[in-house]
Amino acid sequence: MFTGLITDVGQVYAARGGNIDIACGYELDDDAIGASIACDGCCLTVTKAVAGEAGYQSIFSVDVSNETLAHTTLGHWSQGRKINLERSLTPASELGGHIVTGHVDAAVRIVEKAEDGDSVRFTIEVDERLKKFIAPKGSIALNGVSLTVNEVEGTKFGINLIPHTLVATTWGLLTAGDEINLEVDLLARYVARITETQVNKDVP
């Protein structure tokens, strides 16, 4: 489990299909093998960890399944790409964002980016199957960042990022046309399922 509060911005050190090496600011060693780290919102398991270089504390390796490559942005990752990182929750962790599982629902596209004072507004488009999970003032995880939905219109919704988020994550590098990983809110997922089940039950 994660919170959607990014604790480091790492960099893809090497990408070889289903095996990816990521340079990060975490101090990792053999004890970290088996640990979960959210990488741009995708929960991945550390398979190897060594000392880093070029200003990074460590380099860790992850294996990525074909299923994950097909439904996230990871299949397009290449050396040098910046990614948002978050280590998994511990019993003492502060839940400052919302509960994020790291199970990405889909790769979706930014369709508009516009400055709004010191903040930046982004408009995201999803497919029909996901729009029922997104509501104004609800939570959403985008590239692993816990964000609040501003408005919803059909299959599009808007978010507003403050300067701190733009600097502390990779969002300051994103623009219209870029693909991002989306995970719907866990509560919204279950409410939609319960509602769907109840409607089907009531239909004669």
Question: Which CATH number fits the domain 106-195, given the four candidates 2.70.98.40, 3.40.190.10, 2.60.40.10, 2.40.30.20?
Answer: 2.40.30.20
Residue given tokens 């299909």 in the structure block: 17
Identify whether the C-beta of residue 165 lies closer than 8 Å to the C-beta of residue 145: yes
Q: Domain segments of the chain: what residues?
A: 8-87, 106-195
Record: fold of 8-87: Elongation Factor Tu (Ef-tu); domain 3 (2.40.30)
Specify the range with the lowest mean pLDDT, choosing from 25-34, 59-68, 190-199: 190-199
Domain 8-87 matches domain 106-195 at the CATH topology level: yes
Kindly report each contact of residues 50-53 with a partner whose C-beta sits within 8 Å and lies 24 or more positions away, as own/partner.
52/23, 52/24, 53/23
**pLDDT tens-digit readout, 143-184:** 999 999 999 999 999 999 999 999 999 999 999 999 999 999
CA dist 193 → 11, 34, 36 (Å) = 37, 32, 27
Dump pLDDT digits (tens) for 33-58.
Answer: 999 999 999 999 999 999 998 889 99
Give 85-140 pLDDT, tens digit per residue. 999 987 777 777 888 999 999 999 999 999 999 999 999 999 999 999 999 999 99
- Rounded to a whole number of angstroms, the distance between the first and last alpha carbons of the chain is 40
19 vs 96, more confident: 19
Whole-model pTM above 0.85? yes
